[in-house]
A = this chain, B = another copy of it.
């Protein structure tokens, strides 16, 4: 590798307050980067990106308004960032060597970059039988979100009735398996009959329904939850959340992981939930969460999850899209019902 490389990167050209982001908002450009040894500051690394994690929260970072997810916004004209698996090309930090494979939660969505090694959260042991894409899925953002939602906030007992929306998505597939490990009865909703089949056959859900065909959610929940719902991990918000509130048991818990049905709308256009009064009588606790508040638990999570993966108790379906040029399309796929499992963009093999 020479000292100068051409690096393609995605940058924010314009904020997108509502609707589907397009190439007007996120654009690909090519920059020239020097990887010469004297271009790499002390305790920095030159890395090439192998895999990029594509997650719904990224949509919230390009709205240009803090309202909504209240997460920090990407800056105009700057490269955007994501969770990634990267490989060291040149190291100016004695802790890391060329060829090391690392996890960077704040990586540039670019082919190459120079990063402070303080940003790296772990070196990946590639000999333990866990796939690199699982480090972005079951062991990454969606797996951790599932773990916080089920283990920390939902805290279901053996036999509890657990409902998970977007069940075949990256969070849902992990959450369902974690709830099964706890001995719960687990039902999921998802967007096609094939995906219902998938969550039952691959992820061990007891049952599930297609929200496009069983579109009377109230009737569906009556059918699948004759004994009511104890824990609902909400990934969609809107009408499904409203329907759930008509089926909650006493002291039900509703961790709010995200509301994928609502991200592309300004808030005044969102579906109102009319039956919050039910939360009083049923003493329901509803709680939003962001992973940033739970990083101190990441070690506990990773230890559990690695064991589950190695024991075959948690399996994953990862959709690997090849080529950095497909990043925008991959992001938008999360908000269409075509998506199954964890979406990853493979930048380099």
Contacts and interface: CB of A to CB of B under 8 A. Distances in A.
A272 interface: yes
A248 B286 CA distance: 15
Contacts of A295: none
Given A274-B271, A277-B68, A286 B285 contact: yes
Chain A residues touching B, majority SS? loop
A270 interface: yes
A47 interface: no
Interface string A252-273: 0000111100110001111111
A267 B271 contact: no
B277 A262 contact: yes
A144 to B, nearest CB: 15
A37 interface: no
B262 A270 contact: no
Contacts of A142: none
Contacts of A257: 280
A335 to B, nearest CB: 14
A297 to B, nearest CB: 14
A284 B71 CA distance: 14
B259 A277 contact: yes
A126 interface: no
Given A68-B277, A271-B272, A276-B241, A288 B284 contact: yes
Interface in A65-103: 67-71
Contact of A68 (B272, B273, B281, B286): B281
Interface string A286-303: 111110010000000000
A103 B241 CA distance: 41
21 contacts: A68-B277, A70-B278, A70-B281, A71-B281, A256-B276, A257-B280, A259-B276, A259-B277, A262-B277, A267-B274, A268-B274, A270-B277, A271-B272, A273-B276, A279-B286, A279-B288, A280-B290, A283-B287, A284-B288, A285-B288, A286-B286
Interface of A: 60, 67-71, 237, 241-242, 246, 251, 256-259, 262-263, 267-290, 293
Nearest 3 interchain pairs by C-beta: A272-B272, A70-B281, A279-B288
